[in-house]
Amino acid sequence: MLKATENAKPVITTMEPIDFGWDKFSSYDAVADQTKSDILEAFVVEGKEGYRNDELQLVPGKEGTTSLKLSVYSKGTEMETKKFIVDVKKVDGKLQVSLTETKDFISQAEKLGAYMTNKDKQKVESISLSTLDAKKLPKAITSLTDVMVSIEEPGQYIAVVRFKNGKQERHVIEAVTDLETLKDSVRVIKEVKTAEYTRYSF
């Protein structure tokens, strides 16, 4: 388990590739669960050879658990994706960030409204998530503002976006983990009235 403690406010925890035993972060590629951005925000600041190293900046907002993905390089290897469970806890009055690497599927925020206009997004009334056998997942984290839903486990799901005018959109979601690369991927299919499918890749 890797730990880093916040410095003075504003709260920014800085780590370098060497802290993880790596050579380099993939430029600007740090993805924290967007539905839990109030717990943690993550940024990669690209270094400059001979001057400074790459830096991973973690900004904890409050106590809680979220997830983080990093694309990294090590000597003699191609780019790898690393996944972490991130715990943010207050210790002696300060927020402490703990990263635990995992090979399991980690929570992913999927933007169902990626192709919606801002005007359409403002008309969203609710978002629900269920399994293909109609079992509702009431604890699924959603965001009406960005029309997002958080997928916690691999599997197949149906997300229903309901609008204030009574209309709705159905999205079939398939989440899988590649057993060789350990990369998580989510395929979203928007169901339309004609029974045709428009395939989106995120």
Question: Domain residues of the chain, as ranges?
Answer: 2-101, 108-201
- Closest among 61, 85, 69, 44 to 10, alpha carbons compared: 61
Question: Counting beta carbons within 10 angstroms of the beta carbon of residue 191, is it exposed (0 to 12), middle (13 to 18) or buried (19 or more)?
Answer: middle
Question: What is the structure's pLDDT at 199?
Answer: 41
pLDDT along the chain (202 residues), means of 10: 50 82 71 73 78 82 87 74 86 87 77 78 88 80 78 86 90 79 73 45 38
CA 151, CA 15: separation in Å to the nearest integer?
28
Q: What is the pLDDT of residue 182?
A: 61
Instruction: State the sign of the Cα–Cα–Cα–Cα dihedral 149, 139, 177, 59.
Output: positive
Count Cβ atoms below 10 Å from residue 165 Cβ, excluding itself.
8
pLDDT tens track for 56-92: 889 899 999 888 888 777 776 677 778 888 899 988 8
Percent of the chain with pLDDT over 90: 2
At 25 the pLDDT is 81
pTM as predicted: 0.59
The per-residue pLDDT for 10 is: 44
Is the omega angle on the peptide bond into residue 138 within 30 degrees of 0, that is, cis?
Answer: no
Going by C-alpha positions, the residue among 33, 85, 22 that lies closest to residue 55 is: 22
